[in-house]
Chain A
Amino acid sequence: MGKGLFKIGMTGLLLTGIPGQWLFATPIPASPFVVVPPGGPDKCLSCHGWRQPDPTPRTLKKPHDTIVLTHWPQPGPWCGQCHDLKQPRRLFLYNDQSVDFREGYRLCGQCHGAKVTDWMFGAHGKRVTDWRGPRKIQACRVCHDPHQPQTKPVVPSAPPAPPGTSREWNPVVPPTHTLATSP
């Protein structure tokens, strides 16, 4: 009796449950978004705009000695596994498709698919400027250095003053005064 019920239950679950959700669920499309890249000058193009990179695996020297690849277990891949060495600012996907840096999230999504889905829908990452209208979301590499993706420790801002005391106003971040003007 018990075994029969178990079989019926498992059959029902398989027919209507887990595979049913996977096969027939219609995912909500993410609303359109604009990817905001990190600010600052484009360091790559200052050299590789005119000079082909050396594809030989080697110990990196200046100015590349700051690039430390901790993302993969060592010995890891060489630059050419992700970077399109013939076209600066383009990346390779596993299907040999070349994509622009602006679509770097597609490279990340090859392994971190669930996280990138969250990022597309707004549960991960950071939206900037406004909470309505066209979505502007920061690119993965704004927070995560692609070569060392773990976020680095930071100095915390000052703690609150205990009751009955006060402290000096010594902010970590200088004032920016992003005024509440109407967009």
Chain B
Amino acid sequence: MESGGAANSYAGHLPMSPDPLSPHGHRRRTLLRGLAAVAGAASATAAAVETEGPSSWADALDRLLQQHFVRMSASEVQQALRRIEREALRQHRIHLQCDATQPLDQVRFAQALNLAVCKGSRRCVEACVRENNCGRGGALENIRVLSLMGMTTELEQANPYFNPPLVPEPGQRYLPISCQQCDHPPCVQACPVTATWKEPDGIVVIDYDWCIGCRYCSVACPYGARHFNWSQPHIPADDYQPITDYLGNRPRIGGVMEKCTFCLQRTRKGLLPACLEACPTGARIFGNLLDPSSEIRYVLEHKSVFRLKEELGTSPGFWYFTG
């Protein structure tokens, strides 16, 4: 990868902790990257027939030496995206399109969920797994639907493994939980390498290539919304979502964290998140908090809303209401 060029417009969005890379470290990375490029060019003729560009080991080295997403130049971002597409073709035999969609101006995403309407069908979970290219084993799902008996609000007594023949069951209420997109996210503060940060549009994202898999964020999150890929996610090739985003649903490797990103590969293009599209009862409401005429603003202004574990000071961007 070449260095320099136009600065990535993400630069400056990262809530900056001390830069883990010194100027000397940057020069060393640039040198190593140059060597990798030479090695890649030398092995280009021996590269696999079905993929164009550098060979697999050159791509792997490139990924290892890649900069943090926020500090990448525009050309480096493009090279990383093409590398991801090559790796997907090489490893999973799928033709992906990987983008790095920018946050929209004057947009602050938020979601609300009507607990009176949710019937616990878990269609949102199914759609989320598909849209975000999560592993299909059921071990990693970004949405967890809790079943609560009666009027209790004790989340410790909730059952996420409910599996009756039909839902809703009499006397049960259902509470779907995913990333709450907090304004003061403890997961971001806990990350020792700044691999996760909050975007200007309110979405907390992860640079999967920068994540070291320490799982500190998972421990810090009070909502259990961060999940660890204990192994390479298994996805049938014919069930891949081919439109992907660098910070969103691109293929992950084993040993990195992942979480709900409000389907940023969709929402930053104006579409609704997959969970909203799949919900058979319309329990979820999504929109721009900065737009006074949006549905989410109507809900916040006219309904009795609450947020989970507000007393922790996380200030979630996800509201619940009934009625």
Query: What residues of chain B lie closer than 8 Å to A163, measured between beta carbons?
Result: 139
Within 8 A of A (CB), among B276-323: 276-282, 285-288, 291, 293-296, 298-299, 302-303
Query: What residues of chain A lie closer than 8 Å to B302, measured between beta carbons?
Result: 118, 121, 123
Q: Is the CB of B161 within 8 A of A131?
A: no
With CB as the reference atom, state the residue of chain A lying closest to B282. A126
Q: Is the CB of B167 within 8 A of A156?
A: yes
Q: Is the CB of A122 within 8 A of B285?
A: yes
Q: Is the CB of A129 within 8 A of B130?
A: no
Q: In whole angstroms, what is the CA distance A163 to B291 when docked?
A: 41
Q: In whole angstroms, what is the CA distance A161 to B135 when docked?
A: 12
Query: What residues of chain B lie closer than 8 Å to A158, measured between beta carbons?
Result: 122, 138, 163
B119 contacts the other chain (Cβ, under 8 Å)?
yes
**Can you identify 17 A-B contacts, CB atoms within 8 angstroms?**
A122-B287, A122-B299, A123-B299, A123-B303, A124-B282, A125-B282, A126-B279, A129-B271, A132-B287, A153-B167, A154-B121, A155-B121, A157-B122, A157-B125, A160-B141, A167-B137, A171-B126
Q: In whole angstroms, what is the CA distance A156 to B277 when docked?
A: 17
With CB as the reference atom, state the residue of chain A lying closest to B236. A169
Q: In whole angstroms, what is the CA distance A115 to B126 when docked?
A: 29
Q: Is the CB of B121 within 8 A of A129?
A: no
A31 contacts the other chain (Cβ, under 8 Å)?
yes
Q: Is the CB of B281 within 8 A of A143?
A: yes
Q: Is the CB of B137 within 8 A of A166?
A: yes
Query: What residues of chain B lie closer than 8 Å to A128, measured between beta carbons?
Result: 272, 277
List 11 additional contacts besides A132-B287, A151-B119, A173-B278; criterion CB under 8 Å.
A28-B298, A118-B302, A121-B298, A129-B271, A131-B272, A143-B282, A153-B119, A156-B121, A156-B122, A169-B137, A169-B138
The contact of A160 among B127, B139, B165, B274, by CB within 8 Å, is B139
Query: What residues of chain B lie closer than 8 Å to A172, measured between beta carbons?
Result: 123, 126
A95 contacts the other chain (Cβ, under 8 Å)?
no
Q: Is the CB of A131 within 8 A of B270?
A: yes
B4 contacts the other chain (Cβ, under 8 Å)?
no
Interchain residue pairs A-B with the least CB separation, the first 3: A122-B295, A126-B282, A166-B137
Q: In whole angstroms, what is the CA distance A31 to B297 when docked?
A: 13
Known contacts being A31-B293, A122-B295, A126-B279, is A132 close to B141, with CB within 8 Å? no
B144 contacts the other chain (Cβ, under 8 Å)?
yes
The contact of B288 among A118, A132, A162, by CB within 8 Å, is A132
Known contacts being A126-B279, A153-B168, A169-B236, is A180 close to B138, with CB within 8 Å? no
Within 8 A of A (CB), among B233-289: 236, 239, 241-243, 245, 263, 265-267, 269-272, 274, 276-282, 285-288
Q: Is the CB of A159 within 8 A of B160?
A: yes
Interface readout for B126-153 with A: 1 if CB under 8 Å, 0 if not? 1100110000111101001000000000
Within 8 A of A (CB), among B88-144: 114, 117, 119-123, 125-127, 130-131, 136-139, 141, 144
B162 contacts the other chain (Cβ, under 8 Å)?
yes
Q: Is the CB of B120 within 8 A of A167?
A: no
With CB as the reference atom, state the residue of chain A lying closest to B292. A28
A74 contacts the other chain (Cβ, under 8 Å)?
no
Q: In whole angstroms, what is the CA distance A121 to B295 when docked?
A: 6
Q: In whole angstroms, what is the CA distance A103 to B286 when docked?
A: 25
Query: What residues of chain B lie closer than 8 Å to A133, measured between beta carbons?
Result: 270
